[in-house]
């Protein structure tokens, strides 16, 4: 386990070195229009087309006249085929919240899709909503990308009620990743089904490709951008979902994973191996002192997920206030899946208490449910959670589980009658 983690860290550093060594010698294309037409000079689709046609690193900046938020409505997916930095933070007046939103429609599956030669690209400082599959899709030919400081799955002017993508098109995701060595950080992802999906559909035959060493850190998933409340926000399934091939990824540090209709984190395939879930706030706010429950579980490992760590020497999680339980190592599943999750570690977490370990954040029916062969130690639990560690979880309501298609609209597995 230690050797694997060391190799992963080296790989991440190698990607970072590659990014920092790239010189700023490419062309810069400036978006000055809210037009969604690639034939309009100064539009975002035009800028993407220009960057795709010029080999090597390019930059797309923004300078749209007028104050406030600007919405760019596109009619087709923006395919990124070469290395590019798309920087919404260059829009005049930007101070942390996106001033440029990319909006799709019923005809747009993914707003941006990274493929072919687009490795080590950056998408930052933008808002994304109104699409039918993923806001951002990263395919296997594109690796080492940076997705950061974006609002994904909703439109919000900072004052009124957010417009959630889940009210426009249910069962959509924030970011779909079938790729490795990517960094997803400092984003707010709300108003979707699964916020971040890594891997392939676990109900289908796995291709054998591993999607590894992705770093998911300092995101607000299911809450507002401050991580203080979920009023008006929330996601309708999981925060982070690892499907087939999702291995050796780092979920943490610093994520808030709260107000999911299912679980904060779900690891769900026998090829989901060697992942670390660490130093996150799960079911609570960013300070770890106020309950923002996930409606089922904090962390779920099932369907053969093995050799993963929840907490450990990398840093424990605060996992409190989730409705059914904190951590479930295995569960009962429909036919075609296995409920077992063996050989996992749960260590150094705070379960059932606030981050200061001074108060109970109640509501979890079970602290840790482990009917299978796993390792649990040095956990700090509320008294009631400690008593329930070995209890079986209550029956979970049967919900259709979205299959992990990354570009097209989902279809759904049937619940048993």
Residue 339's pLDDT is 77
Give the residue carrying structure tokens 């997803």: 184
Q: What is the pLDDT of residue 4?
A: 31
pLDDT at residue 9, as a whole number? 35
How far apart (Å, rounded) are the C-alpha atoms in residues 405 and 411?
Answer: 8
pLDDT in tens, 55-67: 999 999 999 999 9
Q: What percent of the chain has pLDDT over 90?
A: 77
Residues counted in the chain:
417
pLDDT per position as a tens digit, 188-234 = 999 999 999 999 999 999 999 999 999 999 999 999 999 999 999 99
Bridge partners (DSSP) listed for residue 164? 154
What is the pLDDT at residue 187?
A: 98
pLDDT band, residue 396 (cuts 50/70/90) = very low
Q: Are the C-beta atoms of 62 and 91 separated by less than 8 Å?
A: yes
Q: Spell out the domains of the chain, with CATH numbers in brackets.
A: 2-24+58-387 (2.160.20)
- For the stretch 262-283, pLDDT in tens is 999 999 999 999 999 999 999 9
Predicted pLDDT of residue 391? 40
**Greater confidence, 360 or 383?**
360
Q: What is the pLDDT of residue 335?
A: 74
- Work out the burial of residue 382: count CB atoms within 10 Å of its CB; fewer than 13 is exposed, 13-18 middle, 19 or more buried: buried
Residue 53, pLDDT above cutoff 90: yes
Classify 358 as helix, strand or coil: coil
Confidence of residue 97 (pLDDT cuts 50, 70, 90): very high
Can you tell me the distance from the alpha carbon of 356 to that of 289, in angstroms, rounded to the nearest whole number? 8
Is residue 303 predicted with pLDDT exceeding 50?
yes
């Amino acid at each position: 386990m230690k050797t694997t983690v060391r190799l992963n860290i080296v790989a991440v550093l190698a990607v970072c070195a590659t990014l920092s060594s790239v010189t700023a010698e490419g062309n810069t294309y400036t978006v000055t229009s809210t037009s969604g037409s690639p034939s309009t000079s100064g539009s975002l689709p035009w800028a993407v087309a220009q960057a795709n046609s010029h080999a090597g690193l390019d930059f797309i900046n923004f300078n749209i006249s007028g104050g406030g938020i600007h919405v760019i409505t596109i009619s087709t997916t923006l395919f990124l085929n070469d290395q590019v930095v798309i920087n919404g933070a260059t829009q005049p007046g930007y101070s942390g919240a996106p001033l440029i939103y990319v909006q799709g429609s019923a005809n747009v599956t993914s707003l941006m899709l990274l493929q072919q030669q687009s490795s080590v690209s950056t998408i930052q400082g933008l808002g994304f909503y109104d699409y039918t599959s993923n806001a951002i899709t990263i395919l296997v030919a594109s690796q080492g990308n940076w997705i950061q400081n974006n609002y994904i799955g909703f439109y919000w002017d900072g004052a009124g009620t957010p417009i959630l993508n889940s009210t426009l098109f249910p069962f959509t995701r924030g970011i779909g990743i079938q790729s490795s060595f990517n960094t997803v950080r400092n984003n707010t992802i709300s108003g979707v089904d699964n916020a971040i999906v890594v891997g392939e559909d676990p109900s289908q035959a796995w291709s054998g490709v591993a999607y590894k060493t992705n770093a998911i850190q300092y995101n607000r998933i299911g809450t507002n951008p401050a991580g203080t409340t979920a009023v008006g926000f929330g996601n309708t399934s999981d925060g982070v979902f690892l499907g087939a091939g999702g291995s050796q990824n780092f979920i943490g540090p610093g994520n808030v994973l709260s107000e999911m209709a299912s679980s904060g984190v779900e690891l769900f395939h026998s090829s989901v191996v060697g992942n670390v879930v660490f130093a996150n706030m799960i079911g609570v706010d960013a300070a770890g002192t106020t309950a923002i429950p996930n409606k089922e579980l904090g962390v779920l490992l099932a369907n053969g997920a093995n050799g993963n760590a929840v907490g450990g020497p990398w840093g424990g999680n605060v996992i409190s206030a989730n409705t059914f339980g904190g951590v479930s190592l295995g569960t009962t599943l429909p036919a075609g899946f296995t409920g077992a999750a063996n050989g996992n570690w749960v260590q150094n977490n705070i379960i059932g208490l606030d981050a200061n370990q001074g108060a109970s954040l109640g509501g979890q029916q079970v602290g840790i449910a482990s009917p299978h062969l796993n390792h649990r130690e040095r956990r700090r639990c509320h008294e009631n959670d400690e008593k329930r560690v070995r209890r079986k979880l209550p029956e979970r309501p049967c919900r259709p589980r979205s299959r992990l298609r990354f570009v097209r609209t989902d279809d759904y597995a049937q619940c048993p009658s």
